A and B are shown apart, each in its own frame.
Chain A
Amino acid sequence: MSATTTASPTTTTPRRTVTERRRPHRAGTIAVYVVLVVIAVAYIYPFLIQVVTSFKTDAEAQQNALSLFPRTWTTAAYQKLFGSSDFPLWFRNSLIVTVCVTAGRVFVDSLAGYALSRLRFFGRSVAFAALVAVMAVPGVVLLIPKFLVINQLGIYNSFVGLIVPLIADAAGIFIMKNFFESIPASVEEAARIDGAGTFRLWWSIVLPMATPALITITILAFQGSWNELSHFIVASSDARLFTLTKGVAQLASGGLGSGTQYPLKLAAAAIMTIPVAVLFFVFQRRIMGTGAGAVKE
């Protein structure tokens, strides 16, 4: 009430006193905080429910979905996941694929990005135009096509088939190219005059300077391949090659025995979130910090 009564005269009087200016400001600030907190609760609460429910019994998960305090704490879901299911295998497979894809992308993207920004060679502009064209193809159109080629190459149901196609990453090359264009070439030229070959130069001068961009590529590649589902669906059918995403997706549609088993499913979902969450909190400043820097680098 007081805010509205003081606000109306301020618009008519040309000179405002200090108190008059602050009061509506303070009311506005409180409103902003209320809105922010309500939205934050809506964004965080589901994850709290996820973690807490994984420690509930099946029956209590059904009856008391909103409660954050289980009447009986149980680790039955985790025991079942790690004791009598393929979950550890899925986790291992996801780890193998993610580490290989991330390393592969860092290597391939930094090489190609460097070539496109610094090295003059015949066909460079064509290569770059092709890169942009490839980036425009929506991923979902590639579901059937990828299967066709993987099958034709005889790498269906193998780690090669799971990993190598995911290393192809036009967006990462683009990020590396933009980064190299943003740093001065003078250091490299000095090294070149001193007689360093192109590979030496790339390995011992260029890569160390490109650390910020390499971290960006690492974050994107790790998150992307850890969370990937559709590629694994079309590249394999062997149960021994299931990754977490594929395994948990099967679990969601009732893969492991009878009943709804929500604590079990939510435990699996919670564990598969941990690696990306850790990555996110470690590099939080880089991802969130000043957003402008993250995009420009």
Chain B
Amino acid sequence: MTAVAAGPVRRRKYRSVTRRNGAGWVFIAPAVVLLVVFLVVPVLMALWVSFSDWRGRGSPLAAGVSFVGFKNYSTLLLGGGLTTADLGTSLRNNFYYVLFVVPVQTVLSLVLAFLVNRRMLRGKGFFRTAYYFPSVTSSVAITVLWLFLFTSTGAINGVLGWVGWHGPNWFSEPSGLIHLLLGKLGVQQPPGPLANHGFVGISWWEWLAGPSVAMTAFILMAVFTTSGTFMLLFLAALQSIPADVDEAAMMDGATAFQRFRRITVPMLRPTIFTVVTLGLIGCWQVFDQIYTGTQGGPGKTTLTPAFLSYQSAFNEQKWGSGAAVAFILFVIIVVFTVLQRLVLRERDTVPRRKRFVRGEGGTR
């Protein structure tokens, strides 16, 4: 009896598992095919191109294309020629871009979220909409607007004129902010050691130029367009913080700033982490704005690795070099993300350990 009964039941179970098995693959097949064909295969092909001497004619997988090892990479990083200088310049430009944009956008979006999260605030919806709206527009449209706002007779210089400051023609001004500042302090000529030694094809003096005036306009644009998105992330996190913690602190007489500094910010640490990571990854990939606005100029001071990669491949037919730049950029993004993880994690563990020690001492 039992054996007869168990047979069909087990078989039915088995059949339903195979059907689900089949359906699972059918359901996921379109996604897998798309991701493999347009993400995995391309990356592998580009990796091959970065190790080859392909010049853009025919297929990179054809017989005539040969393997050149690390030649493209070594020309870029150690060659010392114009290619190396371009890479160094683009890395410097993008480094300052990251250095200014990431902290400013993180702090600004946090402050905005904190301000519009007040319970008694009127016009909450209006303020949130106003701050978020730049984030939905395309980078091309914003760049066109920015080119107009930052002309020599543009709106920005108009506003600066109110306080008696004659602004430059922003997008055609190649001098770096730090160089300008040093110039004001009387340092016109670079000190010998800085001028004679360098890194990735450009001198240390060039590395210390700071973001050019043109790049500064792009930095302001990035802050303008991303702070709304990150404000929403912070808002979501703020709303998940239980109100009683804040109220308890308020009863204890903590001021608004103390509560923000000692309660809100520590509880937002995971979100801050997310925002900084997303900011870093996004900032190292600036492309659309440069393509639309300046094409790397003036004086290559808005050249970024992403645009350099595009330019050397599509305009100069140096595909191996272009692909190599893309992978160098990939490594940089990974390194920065990991570094930031380490830095933020360390800060997180130290106070906890101290607290533990103190607690133990108290029980004794």
Contacts and interface: CB of A to CB of B under 8 A. Distances in A.
Contact of B46 (A45, A148, A223, A270): A148
B163 to A, nearest CB: 14
Interface string A37-74: 00110011111011001000000011101100000000
A142 interface: yes
A276 B136 contact: yes
B189 to A, nearest CB: 36
B225 to A, nearest CB: 10
Interface string B166-189: 000000000000000000000000
B38 A146 contact: yes
Interface SS of A by simple majority: helix
Contacts of A47: 133-134, 145
B139 A229 contact: yes
Contact of A108 (B31, B253, B288): B31
Given A140-B329, A229-B291, A280-B136, A248 B144 contact: yes
B68 interface: no
Nearest to B116: A36
A150 B221 CA distance: 32
Interface string A12-56: 000000000000000011001001100110011111011001000
A89 interface: no
Contacts of A234: 310, 314
Contact of A138 (B112, B138, B319, B333): B333
A141 B43 contact: yes
B292 A252 contact: yes
A227 B138 contact: yes
B283 to A, nearest CB: 11
A265 B148 CA distance: 9
A272 B27 contact: no
Contact of A149 (B45, B112, B148): B45
A145 B281 CA distance: 19
A29 B21 CA distance: 60
Interface residues of A, number: 99
B20 A120 contact: yes
Given A43-B133, A65-B154, A269-B145, A146 B42 contact: yes
B256 A140 contact: no
Given A149-B41, A291-B235, A138 B284 contact: yes
Given A139-B285, A144-B326, A269-B140, A119 B34 contact: no
A187 interface: no
Contacts of A239: none
A112 B30 contact: yes
Interface in B326-355: 326-327, 329-330, 333
B130 A273 contact: no
Interface in A113-151: 114-116, 119-124, 127, 130-131, 134, 137-149, 151
**Most A Cβ at <10 Å: residue of B37, B120, B136, B233:** B136
Contacts of B323: 144-145
A115 B49 contact: no
A273 B138 contact: yes
Contacts of A151: 59
B293 interface: yes
A229 B140 contact: yes
A272 B31 contact: no
Given A138-B284, A149-B41, A290-B239, A269 B46 contact: no
Given A121-B28, A152-B61, 16 more contacts: A36-B116, A112-B31, A119-B23, A123-B25, A141-B46, A144-B319, A144-B322, A145-B323, A151-B59, A168-B39, A198-B27, A227-B138, A245-B138, A248-B141, A260-B151, A273-B141
7 contacts: A63-B153, A134-B35, A138-B329, A144-B309, A168-B34, A229-B138, A249-B143
